[in-house]
Chains A and B, each alone.
Chain A
Amino acid sequence: MNTHLLSLLTFLPVAGMVAILLIPRDKLNIIKITAAVATGIQLLLAIQLVAGFERGVRAMQFVEHLQWIPAFNIEYFIGVDGLSVPLVFLTALLSFIGVFASWNISKATKGYFALFLLLDMGMIGVFVSLDFFLFYIFWEVMLLPMYFLIGLWGGPKREYAAIKFFLYTLFGSVLMLLAMLALYFANEPHTFNMLILIENSDRLAQMTIWGLQASKVVFIALFIGFAIKVPVFPFHTWLPLAHVEAPTAISVILAGVLLKMGTYGILRISYPMLPDATLWFAGALAILGMINIIWGAMCALAQTDLKKLVAYSSINHMGYVLLGMAAIAGFGSNLAAAKTGLSGAYFQMFNHGTITAMLFLLVGVVYDRAHHRNIDGFGGLAVVTPVYAGITAFAFFAGLGLPAMSGFISEALCFLGAFPTYRTVTIISGLGILLNAAYFLRAYQKVYLGPLNEKYKDLEEINDRELFTLVPLMIIILFFGIYPAPFINLISSSVDQLIDWVQVGSQMVIR
């Protein structure tokens, strides 16, 4: 398959960005339509990718491989497997939806959409890169538009939030850079090619850094880099701030896609390239997942700002991903459990993307009308806006893991995968089932139920544009909740491949 589908997918937004930069700044509608067209075509391409992706194949597909900077053996090497396809699709979908969620941006519209499309490129780039250096470039490129999008178009404390986000991530990036270089130099000949780095995944295990096994040191450095993005406790405090300050569409992208890059990075890079360290660290990962679940839920219960609550729910939900990922350690005794856990983690990443996107869009709807998000400042909104309240109930129930919604299946798979290996941790994490229900229903009751707050008796019902952003997500959540097999089948071979890589790699180290 020698198409340039992936390059098109990645750089189409750049074309859109250039076009927008050429449009005069006062032609607002043309700017928005250009952004919508660019992301719309991208979404169609992503659908084509999903359709054309061959199931049951372990190898990378849609590969494009060119020399880029030969002096350092840096390549333009992109391709996808079952692990990246869903996230590419998710990115394209949320970018498209994000454009419509940004329709009312009135301040420096041109700059906003230009940056938005640049961000879009960075995200897709991260998910398709098979060269670590390229991956890193996209990773960093993404950071900048994000910084400005929060810092310029955000809420009252946007600058503080933006800088906090930037510093945090940059700190992680530095560690990631060092880890990347370590991998690069440990390999002979030096290379950033991920597949080769995976093949030689025993190199670092045989070296030492400051008397410690190099693979473990590098794993930790990489992990911190990725953990900040997820975010894993205790690197999570940028998230509530950034979310609260960011405009709606950016929160959607941030929670829906950016957080996934952390876990994607761990699975794409740390796991197969450092298999021995992965197994060494898996127990800690399970515990961190548990902390994320419980701590995130408890913080969510304490919030009075609806958006902050949703932000903490992300920390909580990403905890399930970590728990499922930790199941890898069980491959020796219970291969089915390891595969279940990893599939669950992957599925949960995707599902969290759609569910949290809905949640942020819905918070945006009420914020646009009431100009505040104080949970205690509403009451009885379901009386005046039944459709809006109904869709919110849908999203909240999806968030609390109700069966027939996709989130339930992925959470269940994460639990089932982790349980045989980490019983106590999984049982404690099980409390999350209860706490999720508590914080979502508590918020729902306060905002939407009870006697109507007279201040909002003329609150405007959700409009068609907002519905247009929400309905596709509802359909996806419901579809995969009822029939998850297509998703699981899509990723199945790649999960097998990943487990194989870790298994073979860790055995190589032992030998």
Chain B
Amino acid sequence: MEGYTQYSLIILFLPLLSFVIQIFVGKRLPRKGDVIATGLVGITLLLSIAMFAMSFFIQKDPAFPYHPHFEWLTIGDFTIKLGFYLDNMTIVMLLMVAIISSMVHLYSIGYMEGDPRYSRYFGFLGLFTFSMNGIVLSNNFFMTYIFWELVGLSSYLLIGFWFEKKSASDAGKKAFIVNRVGDVGMWIGLMILFATLGTWSYVDVFESIHAGMLHGGLLTAAGILIFMGAVGKSAQFPLHIWLPDAMEGPTPVSALIHAATMVAAGVFLSLRIFPMLSVDAMTFIAIVGGITAFLAALIAITQNDIKKVLAYSTVSQLGYMILAVGTGAYVAGFFHLVTHAMFKASLFLGSGSVIHAMHHAYHKLHDHGRDPQDMRNMGALREKMPVTFWTFLISTLALSGVPLTSGFLSKDAILAGTLSYYHEHQSLLGLILVFFGFGAAFITAFYMFRLVYMTFFGKPADVKVQAHIHESPKTMTIPLMTLATLSTFIMFTLPKLNPFSDKGWFTTLIQAPEKVVEGLEHFNHEIMEGIHHAHSTAMMISVTVATLGILLATMLYFWKKWDAATWASKIPTLYKLSLNKFYIDEIYMNGIVLPFLKLCSIVGFIDMEIYDKYVIDGAARSMQKISDVAGIQLDYNFLDQTVIDGVGRLAKVSGSQIKKIQTGRLQNYLTYVMSAVILFFIIETIIKAV
């Protein structure tokens, strides 16, 4: 057990060390420190593998939790303990973060080459990895909240890494503020928990809830409010708007933070609080996830920026995971989190490879007007970039849920969960969720193959550009190949080899924790049963819809049997809604942000120009008048001589006073005023005493 703690400590703090080194001395190091940063993260990868091996070969216990902790802050009976919560989920997450982070570090050596802030970039990656591991390792809500905000910070710094671009710095700001909307909810939820239960630790919170200390509506409210944090971080509807903008950051960052790890932190938190979620809270979560999965998929259809398509696809897939949490399919949700991290990171890095190549080609041609991310400028890249193409294709198949890939297994598990939810409840909501789930699966397959055809197939958009396209360097292709390999089914089913069943190491190690909410004692068992029954049906439907989606994309964009533009013109409203992201940004901007800023400027105006000018200054003037008329009271004489006089003719009187001082009588004046004050109070006291 001790080994776990030490390994975790090293895994947590090495990336922080990398941050500190890069920020303070990075520029002066050989190769600007990229080797050190990558090496440090590489060590965390080795340690994560070691921890995984320990858990897989030695521990083998799917229900082992271990939580070393220490007292950090004590105020009377109020204590905050910080510590680790080590179970199989933690260990798998640590491994996943380490894999993606080290791949992204390696990839960035090629991708970010020559950037003027190269060492700072690696520093920020280190800061992010540290913060992310903090969330993963935390054994309590307070520590989670701390690291929750810190990943927000690193996300802000990396989205706005090229801050000279206004769109990039705007996107960073938007991401942070939108996330804070969710965090306000989360914080209120945490306050409810703490005020009621008096503890932060996951284990203690669950035990207290099990003992009935928090139940009913308040428990549901706490669950939903904490989930609000996940809505922000995991870009769920209606707070999903920041994630597509976050694509302004360097592409490896999009892969690491905005596809694989940080955005999954919301799902991770929802899984952590899974035991305390009441039925109503879960219904809420399922609805949010379902809407997000479907809505984002609809938007992805019409986007032409390669990264925007992937961004909306990420939103949609995160929606799937949240849907899984809401329908109770705990294992499926976490499974999809991990598989998605691999293939989506691969897709983003692949798109980065394409953008990198396009960018260089344009650079060679001295063309700075065209957008290297616009898929309409691409085409036929598969011949020039074979490694990028094949890894991209494998990952696309995984995302589309095609058999033999990891994505097939996890998506299928989620859809089975949704189907079983419908069987269980037989409600309209259940039917809608099923529709959202399979509908999104269909659309996903469609837009992903649209992307592949537009980018890698067909004729080159510009032959001159095509001539300058080259495959990316090894530092970039090795991560691509690694991640594509990790997107195959076998990586998740070992030691079993059945591509149609998720039975394997993953489902052995990861099992849903018991619910602690009253009346849900048999919840997990029922869900397992339901999923088991729905499994084969779900598989058939999901393979069918994926095939249909791919077929449709092939007809439209490969064989060009039909014309996409004609189709779009037939449904102009729907097309425009999708193209303009359902106008959600515009609704927020015109419905909330601008009116609120207007309100703020009105408040600011009232504060200084009305309240201060008329009420406060007016009160001072009338006091002066009263004192003039009354002319009594020692203190008013004093006030009059030195100050109140000035209020009426401010500039004049005080100006002349100040002139007197400037002519060198400061000391005299000071002595005079000081003694006047002291004298005055003594006299006043005497008067009152008499």
A: residues with CB less than 8 A from B are 21, 69, 72, 108, 111, 114-115, 118, 136-137, 140-141, 144, 148, 151-152, 159-160, 162-164, 166-168, 170, 174, 177, 181, 185, 234, 237, 240-241, 295, 298-299, 301-303, 334-337, 339-340, 343, 380, 382-383, 397, 402-404, 408-409, 413, 415-416, 419-420, 426-427, 430-431, 433-434, 437-438, 441-442, 444-445, 448-452, 483-485, 488, 492, 496
Contact = CB atoms under 8 A, between A and B. Distances in A.
Given A181-B685, A397-B153, 17 more contacts: A159-B654, A163-B646, A167-B644, A170-B639, A174-B635, A295-B607, A298-B600, A298-B603, A299-B604, A302-B602, A340-B78, A382-B163, A415-B187, A420-B195, A438-B180, A448-B163, A492-B76
B180 A434 contact: yes
A301 B597 contact: yes
A159 B191 contact: no
Contact of B164 (A340, A383, A409, A438): A383
Contacts of B602: 302
19 contacts: A137-B681, A141-B674, A141-B677, A148-B661, A159-B654, A159-B655, A163-B650, A167-B647, A237-B612, A301-B597, A339-B78, A403-B145, A415-B191, A416-B191, A426-B191, A427-B188, A441-B173, A445-B173, A450-B164
B46 interface: no
User: By DSSP majority rule, is chain B's interface helix, strand, loop, or mixed?
Assistant: helix
Contacts of A114: 666
Given A160-B650, A237-B612, A433-B180, A402 B73 contact: no
Nearest to A21: B667
A474 to B, nearest CB: 13
Contacts of B642: 166
Contact of B607 (A181, A237, A444): A237
Of listed B170, B195, B667, residue having the most chain A CB within 10 A: B195
A162 B654 contact: yes
Contact of B72 (A170, A240, A431, A485): A485
Given A302-B600, A302-B601, A403-B146, A181 B688 contact: yes
Nearest to B685: A72
Nearest to B617: A164
B203 interface: no
A141 to B, nearest CB: 7
Contact of B173 (A72, A382, A420, A442): A442
B365 interface: no
B281 to A, nearest CB: 18
A170 B160 CA distance: 48
B233 to A, nearest CB: 14
A167 B620 contact: yes
A430 B187 contact: yes
Interface in B618-654: 620, 635, 639, 642-644, 646-647, 650-651, 654
A185 B639 CA distance: 25
Interface residues of B, number: 76
A183 B651 CA distance: 39
B673 interface: yes
Given A343-B75, A431-B184, A445 B150 contact: no
B643 A380 contact: no
Contacts of B661: 111, 148, 152
A295 B661 CA distance: 38
A408 B682 CA distance: 45
Contact of B611 (A237, A438, A441, A444): A237
Nearest to A299: B604
Interface string B146-160: 110110010010001
Contacts of A441: 156, 173, 176-177
Given A111-B666, A144-B670, A450 B166 contact: yes
Given A302-B603, A380-B164, A336 B177 contact: no
B674 A144 contact: yes
A430 B184 contact: yes
Contact of A445 (B77, B169, B611, B662): B169
Contacts of A445: 169-170, 172-173
B194 interface: yes
Contacts of A141: 674, 677
A12 to B, nearest CB: 18
B568 interface: no
A108 B669 CA distance: 15
Of listed B74, B601, B661, B670, residue having the most chain A CB within 10 A: B670
A336 B77 contact: yes
A260 to B, nearest CB: 20
Contact of A485 (B73, B153, B187, B191): B73
Of listed A298, A397, A403, A409, residue having the most chain B CB within 10 A: A403
B153 A402 contact: yes
B87 interface: no
A452 B166 CA distance: 10
Of listed A298, A397, A426, A488, residue having the most chain B CB within 10 A: A298
Given A299-B604, A403-B145, A450-B164, A340 B76 contact: yes
Contacts of A170: 639, 643
A159 B650 contact: yes
A404 B666 contact: no
Contacts of A339: 75-76, 78
B198 interface: yes
Contacts of A431: 184
Contacts of B195: 334, 337, 416, 419-420
B146 A404 contact: yes
Contacts of A168: 616
A151 B170 contact: no
A148 B673 CA distance: 12
B658 interface: yes
A136 to B, nearest CB: 7
The 9 A-B pairs at the shortest CB distance, nearest first, are namely A302-B604, A449-B169, A237-B612, A403-B146, A336-B77, A301-B600, A449-B163, A159-B654, A302-B601
B181 interface: yes
A276 B677 CA distance: 32
Nearest to B669: A148
Nearest to A397: B153
A434 B239 CA distance: 14
A398 B225 CA distance: 25
A130 to B, nearest CB: 18
A118 B666 CA distance: 13
Interface in B656-679: 658, 661-662, 666-667, 670, 673-674, 677-678
B674 to A, nearest CB: 7
A21 B666 CA distance: 10
Contacts of A115: 670
Contact of B198 (A174, A336, A492): A336
A308 to B, nearest CB: 9
A431 B187 CA distance: 10
A413 B75 contact: yes
B521 interface: no
B605 interface: yes
Contacts of A483: 72
Contacts of B651: 159-160
Contacts of B597: 301-302
A403 B72 contact: no
Given A177-B681, A442-B173, A488-B75, A151 B198 contact: no
Nearest to A163: B646
Of listed B177, B194, B604, B681, residue having the most chain A CB within 10 A: B604
B34 interface: no
A334 B650 CA distance: 51
Nearest to A159: B654
Contact of B191 (A162, A404, A419): A419
B594 interface: no
Nearest to B120: A386
A335 B597 CA distance: 40
Given A144-B670, A159-B651, A335 B153 contact: no
A450 B180 contact: no
Contacts of B608: 237, 240
